[in-house]
Amino acid sequence: MAPQLRLQFKVAIVTGGASGFAAASPPNLSDDAGDAAAAELKCDFVRADVTRRADWEALLRTAIDRFGGLDIVVNNAGMTYANKPTETVTEQDFDLVMSVNVKSVWLSTDVLLPYFLEKRRPGCFIQIASTAGVRPRPNLTWYNASKAAVINATKVRAENGASPKPPTVIKAEGA
């Protein structure tokens, strides 16, 4: 029996594939790491900062121009800080985990969801979170919170749909 190729001819944006969990190496935003991962996976590498709206817009343009559209978004990029007591977490540590882990998911939705809705094109958003979002790890308070935020936002979007319709209000004359 031939394997089903359910993803054949699908176009996906996968963030964070050159570092971290995806590549089993420390976070590294180098072009060399991205090119190496792309070569191994036989896909294209496009350097982008997931915390910047303009980069998400450029990723969408690239998917459309180079591949004719977009089908799947995998929000895999993630960051943490060294395991340490909450009172020693810096504002820079906090901003980094919240921007990469939470803001990037929001930006992907804010930039890409209108494309799927306007084109009436089915699409799939996949968020990679962590067990830390449901079973917090000691001394990683804000990392845990960022992953819990991703899990919660994903659940709400799945339960309510990407674009919930407002309630219909019917006003009867003379009532």
Q: How far is CA 63 from CA 32, 33, 46, 95, 157, in A?
A: 21, 21, 10, 29, 24
Which residues share a beta bridge with 127? 75
58-62, 86-90, 129-133, 155-159: which range is least confident on average?
Answer: 155-159
Residue 164: the pLDDT is: 45
- Interatomic CA distance for residues 137 and 83, integer angstroms: 9
Q: Is the pLDDT of residue 2 over 90?
A: no
Q: Distance (Å, rounded) from C-alpha 144 to C-alpha 78?
A: 12
Task: Reduce the DSSP state of residue 13 to 3 states and report it.
Answer: strand
- Give the pLDDT mean for 149-174: 68
Q: Give the chain's mean pLDDT.
A: 85
81 assigned to active site: no
Q: Which domains does the chain have, with CATH numbers?
A: 12-160 (3.40.50.720)
What was the pLDDT predicted at 30? Answer: 72
Structure tokens at 170: 């019917």
Catalytic residue among 18, 143, 144, 146: 143
pLDDT in tens, 35-78: 888 888 888 899 999 999 999 999 999 999 999 999 999 999 99
Structure confidence at residue 3 (pLDDT): 63
Say if residues 76 and 16 touch (Cβ distance below 8 Å).
yes
pTM of the full structure: 0.81
DSSP code, position 20: B
